[in-house]
Amino acid sequence: MSHAVAELLTILDLERIEENIFRGRSPQVGWQRVFGGLVVAQALVASARTVEGRAPHSLHGYFLLPGDPAAPIVYEVDRLRDGKSFTTRRCNAIQHGRAIFSLSASFQIEEEGLEHAVAMPDVPKPETLPSETEMVARFGDLMPAPIRRWFASDRPIEARPVDLSRYVRHAAGAPKQCVWLRATGPLPDDPGIHRAVLAYLSDMTLLDTALIAHGHFVFDAELQIASLDHALWFHRPFRADEWLLYAQDSPNSFGARGLTRGLLFSHDGSLVASVMQEGLIRPKAHRT
């Protein structure tokens, strides 16, 4: 297991402080604020630990304040409903006495029903694409420095973009992209861990999709960029340590906000999850 994956699993194993109250922390890797996907994943873990015999099928969250990586995050779970088929939880993530994130999650018993799903896009398989190390070696000099550092860093999630031109041409294009993602090491067999890791990686590259139409990157210094909300639906079983195709597009940007959506497919083409997110995209010169 890679060091980064081991660290992520440790961080996702929240400390129980009291009934319905948990404590988490952030990795100390020099981030200026807590990664949004980490807060989503930890809030899901906290909520799931108050539910027995049911798996989450959807979650909806709002990012309220930037998280402080140097401070622990306290997660308070409200048990809103325990029905015959569905269970509902609300979880607030708190730092310095204020809520930084609020999550609502729904859990369901296992049931049979009608089935259909859209087909996975016809894209190259991850085994045919260059690894992150190969990307940096071959194209690093053409990449913006923050993108190059991101691909070269030790992270728990590996990314293999289907179209590398996004990172070397620096030009506007259609706001869509496909990226293969997986944990950089094997994960335990617990499905709850795989759902938490998918929640974590679902915040990666998504908001950046809205910027493709304008020739920008999520690391652009002239833009103020932040996730505002995040919605995730789990459809089918999967493993987050096996390749998942994240097919993303952005149908709209307006009013200093960009809307993005994504479908996550397993390597064999099964649709396993859907995601939507709106984010703040504001030129810093207009900041108030």
Catalytic residues: 203, 227, 277
Q: And the tokens for 266?
A: 């397993």
End-to-end CA distance of the chain: give it in Å, rounded: 45
DSSP 74-143: EEEEEEEEE-SSEEEEEEEEEETTEEEEEEEEEEE---------PPPP----GGGSPPHHHHHHHHGGGS
What sections of the chain are H helices per DSSP?
Answer: 3-12, 36-48, 132-139, 145-152, 191-201, 208-212
Closest CA to 56 of 64, 47, 65: 47
Return all residues near 146 (Cβ < 8 A) that are at least 6 apart. 217, 219
Could you tell me the two tokens for 218? 């999520």
**Smallest Cα–Cα separation from 209: which of 249, 236, 266?**
249
